[in-house]
């Protein structure tokens, strides 16, 4: 159910704080909505709906030096057969390996991609560009890192270009101002990324309010979208979703 036309990926998201499934609003740790004490049960529900890929973010790890919620990752991996892409605290070879050992299929590098490009290069050499994803969080037009507490003045497009030349082939881009707000994605940003980087796999994240946004992102040429709060707040009609996915 997570793919359409063997191309567009629809990926449900689980964000974790203190071992629990939560969502933030605009990346603000002071605006937390808790949805479940068991990320594994939430993941299992998504799997029962037909999804076979899940996006997990360790929000505690995102503002720390390493992943914090690896037990929750292990629980999801042992409870489901889903392909897991995991981010939050991947800032060393060791932390990446722990994430893989805990059940992640791929890891998302965000803050470390800004601070230590050499490490990302080593990760790509040890694993490959299917298992290492570049995560770019945008806040007020700047790259935000370390749990969105710090903003970098680097040109977004030059930053992506440098990693594309290094071998990165997949990016997940989040506009923090949209994340968790159910106000619609940053369409202009994603369209520009699609135009500038036609060969990269570009996954949108943040702001999806319903099926219309998902359809519009596919029509804009994106390769997929990560969806969280719209699922939890029941903004997506599952019958319409299934009908759309089956409409080749």
Positions marked active-site? 15, 137
Element (H, E) at 33: strand 28-36
Structure tokens at 95: 């932390």
Angle of CA points 196, 198, 202, to nearest 5°: 95
Assess contact for 150 and 203: CB atoms under 8 A.
no
Alpha-helix runs per DSSP H in the chain: 39-48, 59-62, 70-79, 93-101, 111-115, 117-126, 156-166, 187-196, 211-219, 229-232, 238-246
DSSP secondary structure letter of residue 118: H
Burial class (CB in 10 A: 0-12, 13-18, 19+), 191: middle
Cα distances (angstroms) measured from residue 173 to each of 103, 116, 133, 157, 179: 23, 19, 10, 12, 11
């Amino acid at each position: 159910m997570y793919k359409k036309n063997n191309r567009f990926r629809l990926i449900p998201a689980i964000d974790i704080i203190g071992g629990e499934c939560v969502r933030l609003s605009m990346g603000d740790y002071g605006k937390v909505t808790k949805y479940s004490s068991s990320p594994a049960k939430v993941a299992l529900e998504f799997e029962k709906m037909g999804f076979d890929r899940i996006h997990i973010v360790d929000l505690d790890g995102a503002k720390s030096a390493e992943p914090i919620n690896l037990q929750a990752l292990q629980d999801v991996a042992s409870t489901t057969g889903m392909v897991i892409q995991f981010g939050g605290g991947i800032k060393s070879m060791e932390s990446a390996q722990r994430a893989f050992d805990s059940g992640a299929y791929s890891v998302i590098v965000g803050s470390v991609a800004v601070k230590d490009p050499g490490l990302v290069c080593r990760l790509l050499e040890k694993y490959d560009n299917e298992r290492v994803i570049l995560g770019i969080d945008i806040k007020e037009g700047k790259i935000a890192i370390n749990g969105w507490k710090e903003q970098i003045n680097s040109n977004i497009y030059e930053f992506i270009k440098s990693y594309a030349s290094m071998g990165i082939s997949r990016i997940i881009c989040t506009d923090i101002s949209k994340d968790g707000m159910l106000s619609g994605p940053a369409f202009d940003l994603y369209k520009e990324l699609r135009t500038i980087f036609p060969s990269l796999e570009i996954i949108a994240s943040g702001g999806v309010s319903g099926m219309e946004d998902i359809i519009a992102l596919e029509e804009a040429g994106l390769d997929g979208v990560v969806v969280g709060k719209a699922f939890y707040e029941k903004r997506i009609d599952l019958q319409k979703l299934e009908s759309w996915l089956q409409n080749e």
